[in-house]
Amino acid sequence: MKKVYFYATCLGTAAMQDTILNALKLLRREGVEVIFKKKQTCCSQPSFNSGYFKESKEIALYNVNLFDEPYPIVVPSGSCAGMMSHDYLELFKDDVHFEKVKNFSQRVIELSQYLDEVLNVEYEDKGEPIKITWHSNCHALRVQKSIDANKNLIKRLKNVELIPLEYEEECCGFGGTFCVKEPEISNAMAKSKIKDIQNSGAKYLVSADGGCLLNISGTMQKMGLDVKAIHLYDFLNKRLQGESL
């Protein structure tokens, strides 16, 4: 039996608990034993992006020491996975702890990559035919490079038609602390993204990033639109169970 650590992320723990449970179900259905560390904390990306490198290193080392056994560290977020597998190396490049951090970072993998590339899962789509569109999270696209794995899981669903956005790779305006520091610009970017979503004609937006989904769905609700935003791991679980969205 394969054994992995599961890193839930701050956003998952605070605002998207159902998504975390569905992510765990996707692992468990493949017979994977999941270890969930109760004392896990932030990956340090918000502080890292704001220039607080000393504080970020303290948080990073806490995570390195917490996930100490040689198991893969599965993360249901390309953003957090990118921070832990790539940005940690930049953060510690001239540090005495670099090799220890490198060993940790090499074990970090985004959930879709683990399901697609490691387990090569087989899915039976039990849902009705549906058309969806997709938003690519910036950090997942450019740092963790997990978007192909995200889409490969969707391609396993025979009754799902994926309609590409014209500007799929454009930022939605979330950007972690960016949406707080620059709310007007963030809102304009979100509305631009939503216009692209509307032009696709799809009634469902799927993404593998909780922050992007909260930003886009919150703006769509304020605009009174009938497009539903859903996290990839919620979407997959519902299709495999034959549940309505």
**Are 34 and 91 within one domain?**
yes
**Are 173 and 82 within one domain?**
no
**Are 18 and 111 within one domain?**
yes
- Which of 64, 83, 118 is a domain's end point? 118
Q: Which one, of 137, 4, 7, 6, lies nearest residue 59 by Cα?
A: 7
**Are 16 and 110 within one domain?**
yes
- Which of 78, 97, 118 is a domain's end point? 118
The tens place of each residue's pLDDT in the chain, 245 residues long, gives: 899 999 999 888 888 999 999 999 999 999 999 999 999 999 999 999 889 999 999 999 999 999 999 999 999 999 999 999 999 999 999 999 999 999 999 999 999 999 999 999 999 999 999 999 999 998 899 999 999 999 999 999 999 999 999 988 888 777 666 766 777 777 788 788 889 999 999 999 999 998 889 888 888 899 999 999 999 999 999 999 999 88
**Can you give the pTM of this predicted structure?**
0.93
**Are 90 and 148 within one domain?**
no
Rounded Cα distance between 136 and 64, Å, is: 28
- Which of 55, 90, 118 is a domain's end point? 118
Rounded Cα distance between 133 and 88, Å, is: 32
According to DSSP, the residues that pair with 162 across neighbouring strands are 132
- Flag whether 124 is in a domain: no
**Are 82 and 143 within one domain?**
no
Which distant-in-sequence residues (6+ apart) come within 8 Å of 93 by Cβ? none
- Flag whether 87 is in a domain: yes
- Flag whether 123 is in a domain: no
Whether the Cβ atoms of residue 111 and residue 34 lie closer than 8 Å to each other = no
- Flag whether 125 is in a domain: no
| Burial of 236 from C-beta contacts in 10 A (0-12 / 13-18 / 19+) | buried
Query: Which DSSP string do the residues of 173-230 spell out, in sequence order?
Result: S-TTTHHHH-HHHHHHHHHHHHHHHHHHT-SEEEES-HHHHHHHHHHHHHTT--PEEE
Residue 68, classed as helix, strand or coil, is coil
- The pLDDT value given to residue 187: 75
Quick one: residue 9, left, alpha or beta (phi over 0 = left, psi -120 to 50 = alpha)?
left
**Are 18 and 107 within one domain?**
yes
**Are 155 and 103 within one domain?**
no
Rounded Cα distance between 52 and 44, Å, is: 9
DSSP state, residue 112: H
Residue 221's CATH number: 3.40.50
- Flag whether 179 is in a domain: yes
**Are 34 and 75 within one domain?**
yes
**Are 7 and 101 within one domain?**
yes
Domain span at residue 98? 2-118
User: Around 24, how many Cα atoms within 13 Å sit in the side-chain half-sphere?
Assistant: 16
Return phi, psi of residue 207, to 5°.
Answer: -150, 160
Whether the Cβ atoms of residue 5 and residue 67 lie closer than 8 Å to each other = yes
**Are 88 and 175 within one domain?**
no
- The domain tally of the chain equals 2
| Burial of 38 from C-beta contacts in 10 A (0-12 / 13-18 / 19+) | exposed
**Are 150 and 88 within one domain?**
no
- Tokens 């799809």 belong to 202
